[in-house]
Amino acid sequence: MITNERQYKIAKSELSKINEAITGFDVDKEAAVSGAHIFAQAQLDALQSERDILVENIREYENLRLGAFDILEAKSLKELPMLLVKARIAKGLSQKDLAEKLGLKEQQIQRYEAEQYSSASLRRLIEVSDVLGLRISETARLEAVGIQSPGPQISLDWSRFPVREMYKRAWFDGFNGTLKQAETYSQTLIQKLFSVAGSEPLQSLYHQHIRSGAVLDQYGLLAWQCRIIQLAAKESVLPKFDKAQLTTAWFCALARLSVLVDGPRRAQTFLKDSGIALVFEPHLPQTYLDGAAILAFGDIPVIGMTLRYDRMDNFWFVLFHELAHLVLHLHKGKTERFFDDLDVKGDETEQEADKFAGNRLIPNDIWEVSPARYLRSEKTIKELAAELEISPAIIAGRIRKEADNYIILRNLVGAGEVRKQFPELTYA
C-alpha cells in the first residue's frame, strides 16, 4: 500500500518504466534469447502483473486523497492498522500532520505505519483513531457521509448543492482544480466535507429548528452547516465546556467587551477560553441566516454567525441569542440545532431566547425604568451605556427594535464596524 507522497511519486515513476518495458517487449525476440517461448511469455506476464498491482495501489491512494469512498471498514482488529493508514490519507493528513496532532515526531508515525502499528499500545491506537475520527466498536469505520443515521434513510440529490459558491469560497480543502473539475467531482468533494462534519448534520435534519420567514434552500443550509463545523474543527484545542460557567456574571463580562473597538474579535477569544467555538461564514443564497447554535461532535458548542448585517447592535444581539439557545435548549447527546433569521418573529422557543438575550445585555429591571427607553435621546442612551459598561449600539438597537423603526439612531448602532474586523470573510 502507498502511504505517502514520496511513495506515490516513486510508484508513478515505476509504473511509467514498466509500461515502457511492456510496450517494447518482443516475445519472439526474447524467446530466441532464452530458448523457449514459454519463458518469454512468463517474463511478460510478470511485468503485466507488477503493473496491475502498481495501478491498483496508485488508484487506491488517489481515491483516498480525494475522499472517493463511502465507508472504510475493518472486519477485525487485525485490519485496524491498515485502516488507520487509509483514514489518515482520506482525511488529507500527511504523516507529519498526524504526528503534530498527536504530539509526536514524524519519524514515529512513519515507523508505526511501516510496521503496521505492531509496536503501538492500545492507548496509542485509540488516540490515533480519535484524531482520525474513527468510531471503533465490533468494527472500525470511517464514514465519508453520515448514512448510518437514526430515522429514515436519507437520499441526497448532489446536484442541488451550491457547488459554484462553495468552490468560490474555497470550502473544498486540499482541492486545487478548476470550477469545471469541482462540478464534475462535486459528489466526492461534498462527501469529503461531510467526512469532517460527521453524521450529525444529516441526523439533525429531523431535529433542526429554523427561524425564517422565507422558503429556505435546504441544500445550502446543509452545506453552510458543514462549513461551520469544518471551521470549528480547525480551531486549536478548546478547553472542556461546562455550561455551569455561563452565569450572569459571565454574560456581563462578555457584554462589557462591546465597548472596545475590536469587541467582536475579543468575543471570539472570550468564548474560546470557555470551550465555545465562535466561527464566521457569510450565508449562502436563499438561506437568510443571521446565526446558528449547535453541539458538534457530541458535546462541543459551536456558534456560527454570518454577519449578514454589518452593525454592532446586530452582532451583539445575534451572539447573545445563539448563546441563549446553548444555555436553554441544547443538551449533550442530542442532535437539535438552531438556525436563525432574526428579522422574523419566532415561535415560543425563539421568543424565549430573545428575552434571555435581551435581559443579559440590558437587565430588564434597569430597562423598565431607564430614561433612555422613553426619551430615546443620544444623551440618555450614552448615560445608560456608561452605567452598564456596554456599547451605546446595544441600547440604540433595542430601541429601534421595540419601536420597529430602523431609521432612527442610525449614527449609534455601529454601522460598518463589524465586518472590517474579519477581513478573511468575503461578501458579495
Residues 289 and 243 in one domain: yes
Q: Is 43 inside any structural domain?
A: yes
Residues 267 and 376 in one domain: yes
DSSP 96-162: HHHHHHHT--HHHHHHHHHTTTTT--HHHHHHHHHHHT-EESSSEEEESS--S-SSSPP---GGGS-
Contact 63, 8 (CB under 8 A): no
Residues 386 and 320 in one domain: yes
Residues 51 and 87 in one domain: no
For residue 101, the Cα-to-chain-centroid distance in whole angstroms is: 17
Residues 78 and 58 in one domain: no
Q: Is 159 inside any structural domain?
A: no
pLDDT for 143: 40
Question: Which residues constitute the domain of residue 22?
Answer: 5-66
d(CA 384, CA 366): 9
Q: To 5 degrees, how large is the angle CA 102–CA 103–CA 108?
A: 80
Residues 368 and 347 in one domain: yes
Q: What is the mean pLDDT of the chain?
A: 85
Q: How confident is the model at residue 307 (pLDDT cuts 50, 70, 90)?
A: very high
pLDDT for 43: 75
Q: Is 358 inside any structural domain?
A: yes
Q: Is 27 inside any structural domain?
A: yes
Contact 259, 390 (CB under 8 A): yes
Residues 278 and 407 in one domain: yes
Residues 25 and 86 in one domain: no
pLDDT for 126: 77
Domain boundary among 66, 88, 110: 66
Residues 329 and 376 in one domain: yes
Weakest mean pLDDT among 16-20, 307-311, 390-394: 16-20
Q: Is 12 inside any structural domain?
A: yes
In the chain, how many domains are there? 3
pLDDT for 54: 86
d(CA 356, CA 378): 25
For residue 309, the Cα-to-chain-centroid distance in whole angstroms is: 23
Q: Is 338 inside any structural domain?
A: yes
174-221 per-position pLDDT tens digit: 888 999 999 999 998 998 888 877 666 766 665 688 888 777 888 999
Domain boundary among 88, 112, 143: 143
Average pLDDT over residues 213-242: 87
Residues 128 and 241 in one domain: no
pLDDT for 192: 86
d(CA 395, CA 259): 12
d(CA 361, CA 370): 14
pLDDT for 146: 34
Q: Is 190 inside any structural domain?
A: no
Contact 279, 302 (CB under 8 A): yes
pLDDT for 118: 78
Residues 133 and 252 in one domain: no
Which has the higher per-residue pLDDT, 426 or 348? Answer: 348
* Order of strands, sheet of 208-211, starting from the edge strand that comes earlier in the sequence: 208-211, 337-340, 291-296, 300-305, 277-280
CATH code of the domain covering residue 115:
1.10.260.40
Domain boundary among 98, 128, 143: 143
pLDDT for 60: 79
142-167 per-position pLDDT tens digit: 443 333 333 444 567 888 999 999 99
Q: Is 13 inside any structural domain?
A: yes
Average pLDDT over residues 230-237: 84
pLDDT for 235: 80
Residues 20 and 92 in one domain: no
81-94 per-position pLDDT tens digit: 888 888 888 888 89
Average pLDDT over residues 234-249: 88
Q: How confident is the model at residue 67 (pLDDT cuts 50, 70, 90)?
A: low
Weakest mean pLDDT among 34-43, 185-194, 306-315, 385-394: 34-43
Is the pLDDT assigned to residue 350 strictly greater than 50?
yes
Weakest mean pLDDT among 35-49, 126-140, 155-169, 292-306: 126-140
Q: How confident is the model at residue 421 (pLDDT cuts 50, 70, 90)?
A: very high
Which has the higher per-residue pLDDT, 425 or 263? Answer: 263
